[in-house]
Amino acid sequence: MARFNKIQVLNAMATTGMVPVFYNKDVEIAKNVVKACYEGGVRAFEFTNRGEFAHEVFGELVKFAAKECPEMIMGIGSIVDAPTAALYIQLGANFIVGPLFNPEIAKVANRRLIPYSPGCGSVSEVGFAQEMGCDICKVFPGDVLGPNFVKGLKAPMPWSMLMVTGGVKPEEANLKSWFDAGVTCVGMGSNLFPADVLAAKEWGKITQLCKNVFAIINQVRK
């Protein structure tokens, strides 16, 4: 069962402004990454359903976070169907993210009061997702749609809460463009976890990268 309620999850995403997006089949590497992000200020973490037995890794991460990172909200990403969403909810997912919008996932998530952030690539998709109770919609792929899409959507729909994933970099110019356009938060993947850093197990560098990102976000939000 989820350890955090819907309001806590949405507040964590909106307040911090950044959600790491990560997958690794090695449980120990994943645990170290979660811990490093936590020490860097992350409070909502998206593990992605992208490999064989990913659910088993996630289950271990949820147990680990409960003990070692008590304020960390663990969510699951890359979810495209309702049965998979239900599986991860049973394993303790506090929020669900997907590359697309599936109304059947919204039904499962809403029944358990768990936030569902579907991937939307058009104004109509965002509108339909909001109709189905999706508070924060994911703009995806961000590198294709760009900040102007966010700005254009927010003009007639200013109530929209958007999280952009894809093409987000830990750089001031990049982050400023997204937050100036009106995103609520960003999802950051590979740019937060350089392959050489993971290979060398330099967890402190990931912590520092997270701290740097939050410092930039706090600055560009002012």
Q: Cite the active site residues.
A: 46, 138
CA dist 58 and 46 (Å) reads 10
Which DSSP letter does residue 191 get? G
CA distance 6 to 112: 9
Q: Helices 103-111 and 82-90 sit at what angle, rounded to 10 degrees?
A: 30
> 124 by DSSP, 3-state: which?
helix
- 8 Å CB contact between 19 and 163: yes
Residue 123 structure tokens: 């104004």
Radius of gyration of the chain (CA): 16
Q: Which of 76, 25, 68, 27 is nearest to 47 (CA)?
A: 76
| SS3 category, 136 | strand
